[in-house]
Amino acid sequence: MTGHSFDPTILRAYDIRGIFEDTLTTADAHAIGLAFISIQRDRGLGSAVVVGRDGRLSSPALAAALIEGLMAGGATVSDIGCGPTPMLYFAAHELGCGGAIQVTGSHNPPTHNGFKMVMGGLSFFGDDIQILGETSRNGPQLNDGGSVTEHDIQPAYIDRLAAGAEAAGLTVIWDCGNGASGPVTEALVSRLEGTHKVLFPEIDGTFPNHHPNPVDPGTLDILRREVAAAKADLGIGFDGDGDRIGIIDAKGRQVPGDLLTAFLAQDVAARHPGAPILLDVKSSESALRLIESSGASAQIWKTGHSHMKKRMKELGAPLAGEMSGHIFIGDGYLGFDDAIYAGARIVTQMIRGGQSITAFMDSLPPQNATPELRIDCPDTEKFAVMDRIREHVFASHNPDDVNVIDGVRVRANRGWWLIRASNTEAALVARAEAEDKAALDGLLGDIEAALGAAGLAWVRP
């Protein structure tokens, strides 16, 4: 078969993502399917693939083309239709499929879309995505015997989410943001005791109420107002494909993913004392100390859901989390990032543990930390910029104070700061945390100096 080449900007570190009918087309989707099943069969993982999609307007066309490509390569496809990405992961596990692909643009703008992939029970990312591009260019072999069957996995998935969940006596607001989590969330809360209100459960790929991205504080403003109006115990928001969570406590505070992980660690570590619990490189020292105090071993790892899931399996870790709201629970669950399950687990822990998320936040000392700071930087330049930043850092800091597991994380001036290249956006990401506001200001100056040394002008917040 004649080979197919992709726009190089869409083959990213964790997934494939582009602008529909610009850098990403249905022809690309067909080629992805054909190359993916070729690799899967070559690896001895059979021909069974499960396919799902989110609620973006372009997702049905891309999913149809993807399935055609998979069948052209001889795949036996189980089409689970529209739903959150973790439902795809659940389906791959339950159906025993060698591969799984979700058509999703995650938290990107409505005109964007892409593909998250699993093969052999592991995230298909990094070098695998480059191999897929090469396989497609070389023209993978066509095979007979391809087929597709629709499979309604949603009832079984909801059963699993609801198993053991408790919410009696709580008032909870759930914000689905018109993303793919809406119908599943409505079905889940209908089984829970307590008082629940679900905002924007209708799937609408134009996202008419707000963009579903819980990292952006502005996207949780409606949820925050609803929590206050209802005097609710907490609010739970999801991103567009349901694999990232945002929490608003009863006092209107947003709880970042690293602290959510530390909250969950109190329960998990009681069953797994001394076990490794992972946080990504953007996470705070406060969260690391909380996890250690719970009796677990806190470890920092690379940002990115694929990196975290791989590392969890390597270490047998029962829990991991990212500041961005990806929470991975292996204790009593399947170890992938499922925001809906994480929400149910947080609510259940509030009941069983006797501590609300608000009381947990009240117990923490004041934080002198920035949120995630975004610095625009073209995809074609950001990794070269990071090389220059690393050179500056090693020339101006003690190497023992520098962690380069993912970008540069530097201990300095009674705190730490980080700059790393985003693997999903044309941007660098920075963050800092210090003992007091004066020290934090000094760390922001260090970030400004490092960016300046790399040729980037930046105005600190």
Q: Are 191 and 213 in contact (CB under 8 A)?
A: no
**Residue 125: what pLDDT?**
94
Do 456 and 445 meet the contact criterion of CB atoms below 8 Å apart? no
422 tagged catalytic = no
178: Cα within 13 Å, side-chain hemisphere: 12
Separation between Cα atoms, residue 211 and residue 219, nearest integer Å: 6
459 Cβ neighbours under 8 A, 6+ residues apart: none
- Annotation: CATH topology of 8-152: Alpha-D-Glucose-1,6-Bisphosphate; Chain A, domain 3 (3.40.120)
**Helix, strand, or coil here: 153?**
coil
pLDDT for the residue 12 = 87
* Predicted pLDDT of residue 216: 84
d(CA 222, CA 162) in angstroms, rounded, equals: 26
For the beta carbon of residue 179, count every other beta carbon within 10 angstroms.
Answer: 31
Give the pLDDT of the chain (461 residues) as one tens digit per residue: 689 999 998 998 889 999 999 999 999 999 999 999 999 999 999 999 999 999 999 999 999 999 999 999 999 999 999 999 999 999 999 999 999 999 999 988 999 999 999 999 999 999 999 999 999 999 998 999 999 999 999 999 999 999 999 999 999 999 999 999 999 999 999 999 999 999 999 999 999 999 999 988 889 999 999 999 999 999 999 999 999 999 999 999 999 999 999 999 999 999 999 999 999 999 999 999 999 999 999 999 999 999 999 999 999 999 999 999 999 999 999 999 999 999 999 999 999 999 999 999 999 998 899 988 999 999 889 999 999 999 999 999 999 999 999 999 999 879 999 999 998 788 999 999 999 999 999 999 999 999 999 999 898 87
pLDDT of residue 459: 85
Query: Can you say whether the dihedral through the CA atoms of 430, 105, 85, 164 is positive or negative?
Result: positive
Strand, helix or coil for residue 365 = coil
- Note the CATH architecture for domain 368-453: 2-Layer Sandwich (3.30)
Quickly count: other Cβ atoms within 10 Å of residue 354's Cβ: 8
**What are the sequence ranges of the domains in the chain?**
8-152, 156-362, 368-453
Per CATH, 8-152 and 156-362 having the same topology is answered yes
Q: Which CATH class is domain 156-362?
A: alpha beta
Amino acid at 439: A
At residue 374, the pLDDT reads 92
Catalytic residue (choose from 106, 181, 283, 356): 106
Question: Tokens representing 125?
Answer: 């990312």
Q: How confident is the model at residue 367, as a pLDDT?
A: 84
pLDDT at 217: 81
DSSP of 225-269: HHHHHHT-SEEEEE-TTSS-EEEEETTS-EE-HHHHHHHHHHHHH
